Amino acid sequence: MNSAGRGRLKLAALGALFLLPVALAWLAYVTGWTPGTRANYGELVAPQLLAVAPFEGLRGKWVLVQFDAAACDAGCEGKLYLMRQVRRAQGENQRRVERLWIVTDAARPAPRLLEAIEGTRVVPLADAALPARFPGNAAAHVYLVDPLGNLMMRFPRDPDPARVIRDLERLLRYSGSG
């Protein structure tokens, strides 16, 4: 093969190198292929600023939030326990995470429960429209609010604690705030 033939071969190989990603992207689009897994466990929600009383005082912190009645059934206690353990699992970063229980009725939680969740901020629901700003059934999920006061994520019913911990670790590692 002479030098002109080798030059054309190199040019064709170089062109194929640049066209290959375009061809693969087109093929993925036509076939409807999407990546199989995502990195986060919690469901990202459309961010919205929560500029209301219980959240204003927690600016600068990542906040785990739950809505429940003061009677606190087993599901409620499970969420409170989850929030406590997820925060503790952050080690030295636990100072960057707060827990907030918004009590949805006029009753007061039992003193033994308040002892068990020491450090959790317990506030009464001041605005009846607040739970409607949280997607889905607000009492069924644990939500995450970022340090700027934006609702950003919710975790499924009966979440896997290890996966919630991993999500929060990742957020704390890559976030310079909070």
- 116-173 per-position pLDDT tens digit: 999 999 999 988 899 999 999 999 999 999 999 999 999 998 899 999 999 999 999 9
Place of tokens 């219980």: 54
Confidence band, pLDDT 50/70/90 cuts, at residue 1: confident
* Per-residue confidence (pLDDT) for residue 36, from 0 to 100: 67
**In angstroms, rounded to a whole number, what is the distance separating the alpha carbons of residues 126 and 111?**
21
Domains of the chain by residue range: 1-35, 43-174
Q: Which CATH number fits domain 43-174: 3.30.70.3270, 3.40.50.300, 1.10.10.10, 3.40.30.10?
A: 3.40.30.10
Model confidence, pTM: 0.79
Contact predicate 142/64, CB 8 Å: yes
**In angstroms, rounded to a whole number, what is the distance separating the alpha carbons of residues 19 and 17?**
6
In Å, how far are 42, 64, 115 from 164, measured between CA atoms?
7, 11, 24
Residues 38-82 have pLDDT tens digits of: 678 999 999 999 988 889 889 999 999 999 999 999 999 999 999
**In angstroms, rounded to a whole number, what is the distance separating the alpha carbons of residues 67 and 101?**
6
Confidence band, pLDDT 50/70/90 cuts, at residue 37: low
